[in-house]
């Protein structure tokens, strides 16, 4: 379980957009601008680099009081005592993760466009569920799509926080919040920008306009 609210901008790293030093520099720029949830998503098989990067991002998130989430890799999360893990259908099953980690780990589950999967995940102890992609995603072009009305239905049927993902930008995110998303997960709209702090402010403004909990940071 986590004490950090799953709400607001949810940043996800991408090694192709942030090679080398850019991973930490861009992540820190987003955290300094107010990012409260950061996921380390790296699809490479370079275990040594993944361990080094995940540990560094975990420490950075601790400094900024943000929730650090490891994507896919439960063993990596365990190795660095990460507070949170995000899993999809290719990853370890939630029930198994709960048996192994107990309630101490915050676990988010990808549910695509599948409300029944989300209800099962909630029953099995997910801390949040994610739906998408709501728009064409530059970072994951072949992923399946989810319709906007799914969020309204999810809001009615679920108690856990709902995260929306996929091609979300400052100019299309408002409808997702109006439909009931608690958090907007973004890669390219945040880390694809040359000015991460400015991108962060544009995304945070969505939550201010929607009357959400995340406030604009002074810059």
Feature table: binding site for Mg(2+) = 72, 91
Listed in sequence order, the residues at least 6 apart from 105 whose beta carbon sits closer than 8 Å to its beta carbon are 77, 82, 83, 84, 85, 97
**72 near Mg ion (CB under 5 A):** yes
Of residues 36 through 95, those in contact with ligand LCLJCK34 by CB under 6 A are: 39, 41, 71-72, 86, 88, 90-91
- Token pair for 137: 């995603």
Is 137 in contact with 170 (CB distance < 8 Å)?
no
**Site track for ligand LCLJCK34 across 186-215, x = CB under 6 A:** ------------------------------
182 sits near ligand LCLJCK34 (criterion: CB under 6 A): no
- The C-alpha atoms of residue 64 and residue 66 are separated, in whole angstroms, by 5
Asked if 143 is part of the footprint of ligand TZP (rule: CB under 6 A), the reply reads yes
Taken as a whole, the chain contains a residue count of 219
Find the shortest distance in angstroms from Cβ 183 to ligand TZP.
12
CB of 85 to ligand TZP, least distance (A): 14
Distance of CA 2 to the CA centre of its chain: 14
**Residue in 185, 199, 203, 206 binding ligand LCLJCK34, rule: CB under 6 A:** 185
Q: Could you tell which of ligand TZP, Mg ion, ligand LCLJCK34, none binds residue 122, using a CB distance below 5 to 8 A set by kind?
A: none
Q: Which one, 127 or 131, has the nearer CB to ligand TZP?
A: 131
Q: Is 162 in the site for ligand LCLJCK34 (CB under 6 A)?
A: no
Q: Is 184 helix (H, G, I), strand (E, B) or coil?
A: strand
Write the interaction track for ligand LCLJCK34 spanning residues 131-160; mark x where CB under 6 A is met and - where it is not.
------------------------------
Cβ 166 to ligand LCLJCK34 shortest distance, Å: 8
> Binding to Mg ion by residue 73, rule CB under 5 A?
no
Report how far residue 108's alpha carbon sits from residue 98's, in angstroms, rounded to the nearest whole number.
Answer: 12
Q: Is the CB of residue 185 less than 8 Å from the CB of residue 128?
A: no
Q: What are the strands, taking DSSP E only, across the chain?
A: 8-12, 37-40, 67-71, 84-87, 106-112, 128-132, 162-165, 183-186
Place of tokens 């702090």: 197
Number of other CB atoms surrounding residue 92 within 10 Å: 15
Q: Contact positions toward ligand TZP, by CB under 6 A?
A: 132-133, 137-140, 143, 165-168, 186-189
Q: Contact positions toward Mg ion, by CB under 5 A?
A: 72, 88, 91
């Amino acid at each position: 379980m986590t004490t950090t609210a799953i709400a607001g901008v949810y940043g996800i790293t991408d090694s192709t957009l942030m090679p080398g030093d850019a991973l930490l520099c861009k992540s820190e720029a987003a955290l300094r601008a107010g990012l409260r949830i950061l996921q380390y998503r790296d699809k490479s098989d370079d275990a040594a680099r993944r361990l080094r990067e995940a540990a560094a991002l975990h420490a950075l998130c601790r400094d900024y009081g943000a929730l650090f989430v490891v994507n896919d890799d439960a063993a990596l999360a365990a190795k660095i005592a990460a507070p949170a893990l995000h899993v999809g259908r290719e990853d370890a099953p939630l029930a198994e993760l709960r048996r192994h980690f107990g309630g101490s780990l915050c676990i988010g589950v990808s549910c695509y466009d599948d409300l029944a999967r989300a209800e099962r995940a909630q029953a099995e102890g997910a801390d949040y569920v994610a739906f998408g992609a709501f728009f064409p995603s530059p970072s994951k072009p072949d992923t399946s799509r989810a319709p906007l009305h799914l969020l309204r239905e999810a809001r009615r049927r679920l108690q856990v926080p709902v995260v929306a993902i996929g091609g979300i930008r400052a100019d299309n995110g408002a409808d997702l919040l109006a439909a009931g998303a608690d958090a907007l997960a973004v890669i390219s709209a945040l880390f694809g920008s040359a000015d991460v702090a400015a991108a962060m402010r544009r995304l945070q403004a969505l939550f201010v306009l929607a009357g959400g909990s995340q406030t604009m940071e002074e810059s």
